[in-house]
Amino acid sequence: MEDKRNENGNGKGWKLNRQVNVSVLVQLLLLASLIVGSWVNLQRQLDMLQKDVTVLLDCQKKFERRIESLQDKSIAFEYRIRAIEKHINGENPQTETFNDLGERR
């Protein structure tokens, strides 16, 4: 690109030559393709991240259900142990039975 002074030569303004090089067009096309390629790549990575987060949440829910089940069983066994200890120590002569959740029958 070439800059020239106004024809009157007084230097008050600049006149731009508006010729566009082929190399500038090629550079703009390459820049645009890089931007589009980066955007597509980011979208793909976001999709993969969303799938990973979904799988992680499912695993967390399964793990939470297992923990709750183990906690329920632990409570039931605690009640059974207490009942057995009371029975052995003679504190409670009647036999108490409990279901899997530790509730009396």
Terminal Cα distance for the chain, rounded: 95
| 75 within domain boundaries | no
Quickly state the pLDDT bin for 89 (edges 50, 70, 90). confident
Q: What pLDDT, on the 0 to 100 scale, is given for residue 34? A: 97
Tell me the average pLDDT across 70-95.
84
pLDDT tens, residue by residue, 25-81 = 889 999 999 999 999 999 999 999 999 999 999 999 999 999 999 999 999 999 999
Return the HEC string of the chain: CCEEECCCCCCCCEEECCCCCHHHHHHHHHHHHHHHHHHHHHHHHHHHHHHHHHHHHHHHHHHHHHHHHHHHHHHHHHHHHHHHHHHHHCCCCCCCCECCCCCEC
Residue 58 is assigned to a structural domain of this protein: yes
- Is the pLDDT assigned to residue 104 strictly greater than 80? no
15 located within any domain: yes
74 domain residue, yes or no: no
Residue bearing tokens 């393709």: 33
- The answer to whether residue 92 is domain-embedded is no
Domain around 35: 3-67
pTM of the model: 0.50
